[in-house]
Amino acid sequence: MTDTAWRAQHVIFEQAAAALLRCPAPVVAAVEGFAFGGGCELGLLADFIVASESAVFAFPEVTRGIFPGIGGTQLLPRVVGGPLAKELIFTGRRVEAAEAKAIGLVNHVVSRGQARARALEIAATIAENGPVAVRQAKKAIAYGTETDLDTAMVLAIEAYNATVVTEDRREVHGALGTPPMTTMPLTLTDEQRSLKAGVAEIAKRYPGEYWRELDRERAYPEAFVAELTRAGYLAALIPPEYGGAGLGIYEAGLILETINACGANAGACHAQMYIMGTLLRHGSEAQKRAYLPKIAGGELRLQAFGVTEPNSGSDTTKLQTTAVRTGDRYVVNGQKIFISRVLQSDLMLLLARTTPVDRVKRKTDGLSVFLVDIRGIKGLEVRPLRMMMNHSTNALFFDNMEVPAEGLLGEEGRGFAYILDGMNAERILVASDSLGDGRWFVEKAVAYSNQRVVFGRPIGANQGVQFPIAKAHMAVGAAELMRNRAAALFDQGQACGPEANMAKYLAAEAAWEAANACMDCHGGYGYAEEYDVERKFREARLYKTAPISQNLVLAYVGEHVLGLPRSY
């Protein structure tokens, strides 16, 4: 066979392997006779194998001076273990059906000529089950074999949660009984109304001129944040034993929503709420007692979250900042980008690689989280970035910055799972920011459309003005329902990955729709600083990009909720 013909044949195998690897549904392989080289690799790409008693498996490539070409060196160790895989690949030894079953290479051995029939029988049994549940189970099992247990458990729970919103689950529970219901708030309690009223009272003491002046200078709202802290609102999620209010994520969301609905900017407040959660869930008791009471009381501020890097963006596993253990401390080198509120914080949560990527089994391994006291720390350079909105954003450069070993949160190397664990809270709180923006835009647009008279009548009497505002109002209301559902699940300790991501997406879209409707109805005045529309317009646009882009949310829903193939 010529080199060209050989390559052409191999391309066919590569395409078949790629199709099997990305297939979201279970694949059952039937093997009659020989499965050598590429044939064996294709079998291993199936979810399991039914072999006839005449089947023989082998990787003979090395005996011919070549190499298993479509993943045999990666697939076989996952099935039979590393040492045995090395023996079979290094020697090219043949494995007959009985031994293949004994070593776990195949699931079933049947009589000669019966492999296909048995495989179809198994496939028919699987097909009787809920398709979404089966696909999610396949995905969760794959995650479990490819990542650390902490991360795998988080992903498995989210995969489970994706199945409980489908007809598959409803049909099964129709026979087995009624599943537990999630209690979602439909009206506010007296305590929650009082909470919102208290926040609004403070926010209204800081009118548009206060925020416009800060916006011109890109300055931090020190007075506003200090008053909210003194009133205890920024310690809403901290348990009472550490000096906080011990409220739920729903109440925390109401605080942020109210701030933005009053025309203020909650961007200076929300980070402390969700960053603190990582310390609360994964910090030691000594760390929690050392920091949480001071954060709750305002003695310390934790609003900086150092994750994003110039060359990794949303692909967190590719970050390049390193933290090398040297005696009783870690030495940090690297850089971060788009990190907010560093100059206004005393503490920063930092994600860094503690084990080189070429020395870890899985790409999610080897990342660690540190709680860093950045007051006067050496080796940290902060370069403010002037952005289109006032968000106190910076680039960070680490040059042999030393962090005491006791600053490590949780276990070394488990940082990716810890960060992943906090994302649902972040999504819910950012959704609340956007809901507040959306409400402000709608109220502003309604007031102006009733007051502004052109051609002898209010402009709000024109459908071209009225309908976009009405659509925006409905979008905000629908997004609020998803935020409320996500918050209810979170506060009840249930998995809420799909709901939290969808809440963030829908709220950001609703706020942006409301922003455009408000800008359009104001016409030229919308661009005038004194109306505050252009400022809030810039602020609202941020959440279509951060902390996660809308496209990544769509990719998450497509893969983890709908069971579609991974799209990135």
Residue 130: which pLDDT band, with cuts at 50, 70 and 90? confident
Task: Provide, rounded to the nearest whole percent, the portion of the chain with pLDDT above 70.
Answer: 91
Strand pairing category for 108-110 and 322-326: unpaired
Same domain, 146 and 69: no
Tell me which residue range forms the domain holding 156: 131-176
pLDDT (tens digit per residue) in 199-241: 999 999 999 999 999 999 999 999 999 999 999 999 999 999 9
CATH of the domain at 30: 3.90.226.10
Total domains, the chain: 3
Checking if the pLDDT of 150 tops 80, the result is no
Same domain, 120 and 157: no
Among candidate residues 119, 148, 176, the one where a domain is terminated: 176
Residue type, 282: H
Same domain, 425 and 551: yes
Q: Which two tokens stand for residue 306?
A: 């150092």
Q: State the DSSP string of 225-268.
A: HHHHHHTTGGGTTS-GGGTS----HHHHHHHHHHHHHTT--GGG
pLDDT (tens digit per residue) in 293-331: 999 999 999 999 999 999 988 889 899 999 999 999 999
Could you give the residue numbers annotated as active site? 41, 61
Same domain, 37 and 171: no
Is the model's pTM score more than 0.75? no
On whether the CB atoms of residues 101 and 41 are closer than 8 A, the answer is: no
On whether the CB atoms of residues 428 and 253 are closer than 8 A, the answer is: yes
pLDDT (tens digit per residue) in 409-421: 999 999 999 998 8
**Residue 257 covered by a domain:** no
**Residue 441 covered by a domain:** yes
Question: Quick one: how far is CA 118 from the chain centroid?
Answer: 41
Same domain, 164 and 29: no
Q: In 298-414, which ranges are continuous DSSP H helix?
A: none
Same domain, 150 and 166: yes
**Residue 301 covered by a domain:** no
Checking if the pLDDT of 117 tops 70, the result is yes
In three-state form (DSSP H/G/I as H, E/B as E, the rest C), the secondary structure along 4-41 is HHHHHHHHHHHHHHHHHHHCCCCCEEEECCEEECHHHH
**Residue 469 covered by a domain:** yes
CA atoms within 13 A on the CB side of 489: 23
Q: Measured between alpha carbons, how far is 63 from 232 in angstroms, rounded to an integer?
A: 72
Residue type, 399: D
The chain-wide mean pLDDT, for the chain, equals 90
Same domain, 45 and 153: no
Q: Give the torsion sign (CA, 132, 24, 546, 223).
A: positive
Same domain, 89 and 155: no
Same domain, 93 and 151: no
Same domain, 57 and 165: no
| Of 10-14, 85-89, 433-437, minimum mean pLDDT range | 10-14
Q: Measured between alpha carbons, how far is 559 from 23 in angstroms, rounded to an integer?
A: 12
**Residue 521 covered by a domain:** yes
Q: Measured between alpha carbons, how far is 321 from 332 in angstroms, rounded to an integer?
A: 7
Say what the pLDDT of residue 158 is. Answer: 55
Among candidate residues 127, 162, 187, the one where a domain is terminated: 127
CATH of the domain at 538: 1.20.140.10
DSSP state of 310: T
**Residue 483 covered by a domain:** yes
Residue 175: which pLDDT band, with cuts at 50, 70 and 90? very low
Q: In 46-189, which ranges are continuous DSSP H helix?
A: 72-80, 82-91, 97-102, 115-127, 131-146, 149-163, 167-176
Higher-scoring residue by pLDDT: 133, 179: 133
Residue 171: which pLDDT band, with cuts at 50, 70 and 90? very low
Same domain, 49 and 137: no
**Residue 102 covered by a domain:** yes
**For residues 103-126, average pLDDT:** 92
Measured at the alpha carbon of residue 243, what is the angle toward residues 240 and 247, in degrees to the nearest 5?
A: 45
Same domain, 430 and 556: yes
What kind and span of H or E run contains 398? Answer: strand 393-404
On whether the CB atoms of residues 52 and 31 are closer than 8 A, the answer is: yes
Residue 148: which pLDDT band, with cuts at 50, 70 and 90? low
Among candidate residues 160, 176, 192, the one where a domain is terminated: 176
CATH of the domain at 138: 1.10.12
**Residue 567 covered by a domain:** no
